[in-house]
Amino acid sequence: MFENQSLMEKIISLAKQRGFIFQSSEIYGGLKSAYDYGPLGVELKRNLMNEWWRSIVHEREDTVGIDASIIMHPKVWQASGHLAGFSDPLVDCLISKERFRADKAPRPKSGDAIPITCTDKGQAKTYLDTIKKMFNIELRRNGKILEGLKVIDKTSFGFFNEDEKEAITTFQYKGYVSPTFGSPFLSDERQFNLMFRSQIGPVDILGDISTFAEQNRDIPREDFHKEIEKIIKKSAVYLRPETAQAMFVQFQNCQQSMSMKIPFGIAQMGKSFRNEITVEHFIFRSCEFEQMEMEFFVEPGTQKKWLKYWRDARIDWWKSLSNNPEKFRYRLHSKDELAHYADACYDIEYEYPWGFDELEGIASRTDYDLKKHAEYSGSKLSYFDQQKKDPETGKNGWRYTPYVIEPAAGATRGLLVYLLDAYHEEIVPDANGNESTRVVMKLHPKLSPIKVAVLPLVKKEGLPEIARDIVTKFFNNGINTRYDEQHSIGKRYRRHDEAGTPYCITIDGKTKENNTVTIRYRDSMQQERISIDKVIDVIRKKLTLS
Ligand code: GAP
pLDDT in tens, 207-253: 999 999 999 989 998 789 889 989 998 999 999 999 999 999 999 99
What is the spatial distance between Cα 414 and Cα 410, in angstroms, rounded to a whole number?
Answer: 6
Q: What are phi and psi of 60, to 5 degrees?
A: -135, 145
Candidate of 291, 292, 294, 365 to mutate for ligand 1, largest count of ligand atoms within 8 Å of Cβ = 291
C-beta of residue 414 within 8 angstroms of C-beta of residue 10: no
Find all residues with CB under 8 Å of 235, minimum gap 6, and list them.
199, 200, 201, 203, 205
pLDDT score at 193: 79
What is the spatial distance between Cα 239 and Cα 274, in angstroms, rounded to a whole number?
Answer: 8
In terms of Cα–Cα distance, which of 132, 136, 121, 171 is closest to 150? 171
CA of 215 to the centre of ligand 1 (A): 44
What is the spatial distance between Cα 394 and Cα 397, in angstroms, rounded to a whole number?
Answer: 9
Strands of 194-325, DSSP E: 197-199, 236-238, 264-273, 288-298
Residue whose CA is at the smallest distance from ligand 1 atom 22:
285
Q: What is the pLDDT of residues 368-400, one digit of tens each?
A: 999 999 999 999 999 999 999 999 999 999 999
- Tell me the residue length of the chain: 546
pLDDT score at 432: 83
CA of 291 to the centre of ligand 1 (A): 7
pLDDT score at 88: 66
Q: Which residues line ligand 1 (CB under 6 A)?
A: 242, 244, 274, 276, 285-286, 289, 291, 293, 358-361, 406, 408-410, 412-413
Question: What value, to the nearest 5°, has the Cα angle with vertex 320 and ends 360 and 530?
Answer: 145
Where does residue 72 rank: exposed (0-12), middle (13-18), buried (19+ CB within 10 A)? middle
pTM of the full structure: 0.85
Q: What is the pLDDT of residues 412-457, one digit of tens each?
A: 999 999 999 999 999 998 878 889 999 999 999 999 999 999 999 9
pLDDT score at 86: 55
What is the spatial distance between Cα 448 and Cα 151, in angstroms, rounded to a whole number?
Answer: 52
Q: Identify the band that residue 322 occupies on the pLDDT scale cut at 50, 70 and 90.
A: very high
CA of 410 to the centre of ligand 1 (A): 5
Percent of the chain with pLDDT over 70: 99
pLDDT score at 102: 87
Within 10 A of 100 (CB to CB), how many other CB atoms are there?
A: 21
pLDDT score at 4: 59
Q: What is the pLDDT of residues 22-69, one digit of tens each?
A: 999 999 999 988 999 999 999 999 999 999 999 999 999 999 999 999
Query: DSSP state, 285?
Result: B
Exposure class string for 367-391: b at 16+ Cβ within 10 A, else e: bbbbebbbeeeeeebebebeeeeee
Q: What is the pLDDT of residues 258-294, one digit of tens each?
A: 999 999 999 999 999 999 877 889 999 999 999 999 9
pLDDT score at 161: 93
Give the SS3 label for residue 21: strand
149-153 and 156-159 strand pairing: antiparallel
Strands of 227-376, DSSP E: 236-238, 264-273, 288-298, 328-332, 344-352, 355-366
C-beta of residue 82 within 8 angstroms of C-beta of residue 241: yes
pLDDT higher than 70, residue 3: no
Residue type, 447: L
pLDDT score at 85: 59
Residue whose CA is at the smallest distance from ligand 1 atom 14:
360
Q: What is the pLDDT of residues 495-537, one digit of tens each?
A: 999 999 999 999 999 999 999 999 999 999 999 999 999 999 9
Q: How many helices (H) and strands (E) are present in the chain, helices listed first? A: 16, 29
Q: Quick one: which H or E segment has residue 370?
A: helix 368-377
What is the spatial distance between Cα 281 and Cα 526, in angstroms, rounded to a whole number?
Answer: 36
C-beta of residue 32 within 8 angstroms of C-beta of residue 38: no
Residue whose CA is at the smallest distance from ligand 1 atom 7:
242
CA of 273 to the centre of ligand 1 (A): 10
Residue whose CA is at the smallest distance from ligand 1 atom 17:
410
What average pLDDT does range 346-358 have in this prediction?
97
In terms of Cα–Cα distance, which of 80, 452, 120, 10 is closest to 246? 80
Ligand 1: nearest atom to the Cα of 363: 2
Q: What are phi and psi of 521, to 5 degrees?
A: -95, 125
Residue whose CA is at the smallest distance from ligand 1 atom 15:
410
Candidate of 247, 413, 415, 417 to mutate for ligand 1, largest count of ligand atoms within 8 Å of Cβ = 413
pLDDT higher than 60, residue 2: no
Q: Quick one: three-class SS letters along 157-175?
A: EEECCCCCCCCCEEEECCC
Q: What is the pLDDT of residues 101-122, one digit of tens each?
A: 888 899 999 999 999 999 889 8
Q: What is the pLDDT of residues 447-489, one digit of tens each?
A: 999 999 999 999 999 999 999 999 999 999 999 999 999 999 9
Q: What are phi and psi of 505, to 5 degrees?
A: -105, 120
C-beta of residue 182 within 8 angstroms of C-beta of residue 115: yes
pLDDT score at 63: 98
Ligand 1: nearest atom to the Cα of 276: 23
Within 10 A of 460 (CB to CB), how many other CB atoms are there?
A: 8
Q: What are phi and psi of 533, to 5 degrees?
A: -70, -20
